[in-house]
Amino acid sequence: MTNTIHNLTRTDDIVIVGGGLAGLFCALKLAPRPVTLISAAPLGQGASSAWAQGGIAAAVAEGDTPEAHATDTIAVGGGLVDEVVALGIAREAAPRIHDLLSYGVPFDRDLEGRLAVGREAAHSARRIVHVRGDGAGAAIIAALSEAVGRTPSIRLVEGFVAEALLVEDGTVAGLQLREAGNFQANPFLLASRAVVLATGGIGHLYAVTTNPMEASGSASPSPRVPVP
Ligand SMILES: Cc1cc2nc3c(=O)[nH]c(=O)nc-3n(C[C@H](O)[C@H](O)[C@H](O)COP(=O)(O)OP(=O)(O)OC[C@H]3O[C@@H](n4cnc5c(N)ncnc54)[C@H](O)[C@@H]3O)c2cc1C
């Protein structure tokens, strides 16, 4: 349920900014710990996650390994890849796919009922999982939005933009929010013990991008304002 500003004048435990895959997943993983989830657009809109069509790479097939996945990633990265990070992410990929399955994401299956995996781009093995071919992003966001809706510990606040982090004694103490698209609206402050920024990309800093409008970098940690 979406809450009104009136209900926000308390100190929240954890506030997550962003209603894409990262924000929704974080909120679900933290359950039953209470969290407030802020999204500039209604869930399912204004997030790159819902637009992703190509699928997700993960070593879920028999014989494939996270080490092989990381090796392919490093090889194609032209010397730019942090190898420790690549291996860490490759090791997390399969368990996280299983998390998504448990939240109801209907990944495509083969005739034996195993996850169907495609071979794409620089991968040396079949390791891309899809949903109905090119519908992965939309299906993931639909399933996670539903899961969020039935999780009582998650308070959803749609249609508000996080403008600035509030800082007290050198520590993040909350957020300044404003109604999305209404620059005349008064900003309001939301005190919080922890803030997770899951605001996606910054494609709209550039003239040409495939990202949604909300991917503008407007929730970057600066400007920071002091708590009044
Ligand atoms: C067209 C397209 C196709 C893609 N295809 C693939 C693919 O096939 N496979 C793949 O793995 N990846 C793909 N990607 C990349 C993938 O979609 C992203 O890496 C991923 O979805 C990012 O998730 P996220 O939750 O971090 O960000 P997002 O899904 O973009 O979510 C960010 C959220 O933050 C909100 N927000 C932003 N700023 C504020 C603010 N100031 N206040 C409040 N809320 C705010 C937005 O409204 C949104 O809800 C694709 C991306 C695009 C654009």
For each of the domains in the chain, give its residue range(s) and CATH number, in order of start. Answer: 5-48+148-226 (3.50.50.60), 54-134 (no CATH)
pLDDT digit string, tens, across residues 35-58: 999 998 898 888 999 999 989 999
> What pLDDT score does 68 carry?
98
> What pLDDT score does 4 carry?
39
Pocket test for ligand 1, best of 214, 220, 222 (most atoms within 8 A of CB): 214
Q: What residues flank ligand 1, with Cβ below 6 Å?
A: 17-23, 38-41, 46-49, 51-56, 137, 161-162, 198-201, 210-211, 214-215, 218-219
Residue 115 Cα to ligand 1 middle (Å): 24
| Ligand 1 atom with least separation from CA of 24 | 25
**High-pLDDT (> 90) share of the chain, %:** 78
Structure tokens at 179: 């109604």
pLDDT digit string, tens, across residues 171-195: 999 999 999 888 888 998 999 999 9
- Give all strands (DSSP E) within the chain, no chain letters: 12-17, 35-39, 56-57, 117-118, 128-129, 154-158, 160-168, 171-179, 188-197, 225-226
More confident residue, 85 or 5: 85
Q: What are phi and psi of 52, to 5 degrees?
A: -65, 130
pLDDT digit string, tens, across residues 122-174: 999 999 999 999 999 999 999 999 999 999 999 999 999 999 999 999 999 99
> What pLDDT score does 130 carry?
97
* DSSP output for 115-138: BPEE--TT-SS--EE-STTT-HHH
| Ligand 1 atom with least separation from CA of 162 | 42
Number of separate helices (H) and strands (E) present in the chain: 5, 10
Over residues 201-220, mean pLDDT: 82
Pocket test for ligand 1, best of 48, 53, 89, 176 (most atoms within 8 A of CB): 48
- Closest protein CA for atom 20 of ligand 1: 49
Over residues 1-5, mean pLDDT: 37
> What pLDDT score does 10 carry?
57
Residue 18 Cα to ligand 1 middle (Å): 9
> What pLDDT score does 40 carry?
87
> What pLDDT score does 221 carry?
33
Q: How confident is the model at residue 2 (pLDDT cuts 50, 70, 90)?
A: very low
Structure tokens at 28: 């679900």
Sign of the four-CA dihedral 40, 44, 50, 56: positive
Which residues fall within 8 angstroms of residue 76, CB to CB, at 6 or more apart?
A: 121, 122
Q: How far is 57 from 96, CA to CA, in rounded Å?
A: 11
> What pLDDT score does 11 carry?
64
Q: How confident is the model at residue 220 (pLDDT cuts 50, 70, 90)?
A: very low
Residue 112 Cα to ligand 1 middle (Å): 33
> What pLDDT score does 46 carry?
86
> What pLDDT score does 8 carry?
46
Mean predicted lDDT score pLDDT of the chain: 89
> What pLDDT score does 100 carry?
97
